[in-house]
Amino acid sequence: MRAIREALRVAYPFILVMALVDVVGQGFLSKSGFFFQIYHIGRWLPGIEFWQQGLQAVSIVVNGLVAVMVAFTTGHYLARTYHAEPLAVGMMSALAFLTLNVNYDTLGQGGHGNEGSQFLEVNLGPQGIFLAILVGLGVGWLASHLMQGLTTWWLHHRKKQLSWTGRIAWSLVVILSLTVATGYGVSWLVDGGINNLVYLALQTLSTNVGHDGWWIIAVTAISNGLWWLGLIGPISVAGNSSVTSLQNLAYAVQHGSGWGAPHPVTLHTLGDAYANFGGAGMTLALLIAIWIGSRQASYRRVANQTFLPNLLNLNEPTLLGLPVLFNPILLIPFVLAPAVSMLLAWAAIAWRLVPPIVYPVPRTTPGPLVGYLGTGGDWRALLLSLVCLSVSVLIYLPFVRLLNDEGDDDHAA
């Protein structure tokens, strides 16, 4: 667990920079951005395409390789616990992760898709963090034991020391042979590699979820639990463009409001509107709870650094910086806070206290404003959002205070 924590700590500054770049790129410079539309930035900012392309280049470099960093740092820190060669093992972990994400279709093998790219690039970003951690742990353990075993075997049978280069080279050959064989085999089963195989299996949970509030809450709870494991976004929320959302919008355009919309209870009207403040797990509430109840200087520092991205629903820095990922104390509120918020929203919509959201809002809209803007400016939706946020803060608060008992050491990045 310490190897994972240290790996996430090293990756955190890169993720933070990426998120701040995305705040500007997606929130201020993208045509679908919240602040772009509010302040009509496209009308008065000269050379907007230049700024967009520059920020996109930075985002591609950092965001596109973060999982490789995590694989390297996980293997590196695990090798240190075994008193092996940490830098060499870290490099082996990164290479092993890359071989699992080679696009074997470009080599004339495997399935059909992703033609032209040598790597499955989507798996190298935040979506690949879970696999990167597994690879780092596996390679870190195997390489450390291989090098120790090879040294002993060589000394016993050859009556001389195996060189430093020999220990690393033979271990690398074994590890790359295993990962290439695995990646090649998976390419015959599914396009997109091991990561995509896992994501496809998980996404079936959200297929035809319907309008059953309990099932919607359960699916969201499962999704948030998977986020806690580092499976970033395996279950997508319905969003503005789903069929039910478009039907609700058509109804609102015809009747002038969302009251009586045909689909009042959906993943979008519950999850997007009232259970996603800051991103998965209601992490905006977590930051507020840290400001109120945490005595850990490192937690408060991370909360300050990641507040702006969280406000625009970009919470990867918070997940890695505290970290929330693989933190058993934060698992319960990370799942419970969104579930309770959705339950409150479901009750309010069912009892006709608030209308469902029907109007599309930009993805980077601050979480507490989604319900207000999505209902066309209904103050009751804003009040419900504030209630959900307050309740979520109260859910997080005792767990944040429990983190104070971990000791005086800084545990966050």
Asked if residue 366 has a cis previous peptide bond (ω within 30° of 0), the answer is: no
Residues 6+ apart with CB under 8 A from 137: 3, 4, 74, 75, 78
pLDDT given for residue 285 in this prediction? 98
Beta bridge partners of 102: 119
Residue 370: closest CA among 361, 383, 379, 378: 361
What does the pLDDT profile of the chain (413 residues) look like in tens digits? 788 888 888 889 988 998 999 999 899 998 889 999 898 898 888 888 888 888 888 888 887 888 999 999 999 999 999 988 999 999 999 999 999 998 887 776 444 444 567 888 888 888 888 899 999 999 999 999 999 888 888 777 776 777 888 889 999 999 999 999 998 888 888 777 777 777 776 666 666 666 788 988 998 998 899 899 888 766 655 454 478 888 888 989 898 888 988 989 988 899 989 999 999 999 999 999 999 999 999 999 999 999 999 999 999 999 999 999 999 999 999 999 999 999 999 999 999 999 999 998 988 999 999 999 999 999 999 999 999 999 999 999 999 999 988 755 556 66
Q: How many CA atoms lie within 13 A of 324 on its CB side?
A: 32
Q: How far apart are CA 279 and CA 260, in angstroms?
A: 28
What are the extents of the domains in the chain? 66-190, 208-406
pLDDT of residue 155: 78
Phi and psi dihedrals of 268, rounded to 5? -75, -50
Q: What is the pLDDT of residue 87?
A: 94
Helix, strand, coil % in the chain, rounded to nearest 5: 70, 0, 30
> Model pTM greater than 0.85?
yes
Dihedral sign for Cα atoms in the order 24, 123, 142, 225 = positive
